[in-house]
A and B are shown apart, each in its own frame.
Chain A
């Protein structure tokens, strides 16, 4: 099985099957409401692919992906709020939440977000650029391991607190109540379905990019840095550059996921990007298998689904489950579900050779 998926034909058929499920089966079988939920889960899965790359392959436990997710989300939300205000009150109008907060004048940094092109460019450039800068600052000085994890977590905390303090960014409540997504009415079921297709398409692209990164020479180098960073330096590489690429890719994935999340879910607030949500992104990746390609996707979808199914009805039990999953999976099954598959395969192979010998 795994042999097959390593071949060219295997990769294509894997993507083909995924596309069939995402673009064929799901829209046929699921109601509009459930499709919307799935679109939301797919956004988490996109984040998870990036974490798998940075943490599973690169050894960088990034506990602050909420920052990049949030950047993408807020940038998109700013554009959508501007577009809504413009639709209601004409060019240069102040978004509704600012009126409520008593802000009469549009802050200067909001103005360019009236442009869709500018917004998309910022979503692609700003979080990634920030990740590159921070990555250089941290990795060049060889801050790594637990130190890096804690810094990334502190960043998520600082970012959430910063946003809570900004009335012109919606403060504690965040930004919500959007009507249009690049001119498409969000109340229209067809447009909701289009958002789902965008999320599914982006997920496939992101997985393809991650696959290429893993199988390239860069991917081998990244594993080498994860396992023996200092050795890589003595071979003449600047290990910091290698790490920055994976970190920035993870940031880009998270930002894009955030940007899709906003029109799908209809709200973004500091509560969904701070320390706790950031570390929660890790859970699905750990369950699915941090070092595998598809594992993080599956794990993220499963956790998101369980969260939706359980957290409303059994909030207490769900929190216990989350905590116990962290404990049990990481302590006893660090390779996640993916490693179970590999283990059983090895076991089968072993019993097969034993039979052949007998």
Chain B
């Protein structure tokens, strides 16, 4: 188990409003690391910072290289992949084309100017892994909601990302799809570092290797599921939310 990504003292400031306020975070390979926290805690903004979308102070180091100040596409090339709160795939293109594009960031101009004759091996493998082998020629726009999210994860895999930052990857999924996604995440995390931003506590309990709780832009607690669940400050922040969640779970069970 090696450390893939180290964030130190991250601050993000929106015209004086501190959305992220001194966060330290380490992501290790082999772990599914959950980032939880109430709405507005700064989870998405933290992901934005690491991937170069939001300006920040502090430092993000991957495998010994400082990422701060690098452009979005350079950071992506260094193996940091992300998904978005609302799944964004190329709707007009087929599933296979989506994956082929995601696999091709390193292609030479010459190979770009030619037609694709066969699907690259890793695209075929990932199609299988994300369960979309049967839909390879389907336009991504007509996939079901959950399938789009899997496709997005698959796009990061074929792009050789080894740090995956997934923003609410199970939003809108049913129970079965959630479990499939959870198992997929663990499969992926065998050789990679996976961070998952999530609200769903049950999903977190079932699949988290480690948990970091954000609140008002700062880290409230970090550790195993049990450690974090028993932390009194977390209970205080989350009491309302978790009761609410339990009530919802009970109602839908």
Out of A220, A228, A236, name the residue touching B105 (CB < 8 Å): A236
Q: Does A346 contact B (CB under 8 A)?
A: no
Interface string of A234-260 (1 = CB under 8 A from B): 111111000000000000000000000
Q: Dominant SS at the B interface?
A: loop
CB contact between A234 and one of B82, B111, B116 (< 8 Å): that residue: B82
A interface: dominant SS: helix
Task: Kindly state the separation between the CA atoms of A227 and B111 in the bound complex, as whole angstroms.
Answer: 22
Question: Beta-carbon contacts of B93-137 to A below 8 Å, as 1s and 0s?
Answer: 100010011101111000111111000000000000000000000
| From A212, A217, A227, A233, contact of B72 by CB (8 A) | A233
Kindly state whether residue B30 has any CB partner on chain A within 8 Å.
Answer: no
Chain B nearest CB, measured from A161 CB (Å): 36
B233 at the interface (CB under 8 A from A): no
Binds A, one of B8-16, B73-81, B142-150: B73-81
Q: Does A224 contact B (CB under 8 A)?
A: yes
Asked if B187 is at the interface of the complex by the 8 Å CB criterion, the answer is no
Q: Does A311 contact B (CB under 8 A)?
A: no
Q: Which residues of B contact A212 (CB under 8 A)?
A: 113
Contact present for A234 and B112 (CB under 8 Å): no
B92 within 8 A of A: yes
Asked if B90 is at the interface (CB within 8 A of a chain A CB), the reply is: yes
CA distance A218 to B112 in the complex (A): 5
| With contact pairs A217-B107, A217-B115, A228-B88 given, residues A235 and B76 touching in the complex (Cβ less than 8 Å) | yes
Q: Say yes or no for B159: interface residue by CB 8 A criterion.
A: yes
For the complex, count residues of A whose C-beta is within 8 A of B: 22
Tell me whether A3 is interfacial, beta carbon within 8 Å: no
Query: A10 → chain B, closest Cβ, in Å?
Result: 15
Residue interface mask B57-77, A partner, CB < 8 A = 1: 000000000000001110011
Q: A217-B115, A234-B82, A235-B105 are in contact. List 16 more A-B contacts (CB 8 A).
A: A212-B113, A215-B115, A216-B112, A217-B113, A220-B100, A221-B101, A224-B93, A228-B88, A231-B89, A231-B90, A233-B76, A234-B76, A235-B73, A236-B106, A236-B159, A238-B71
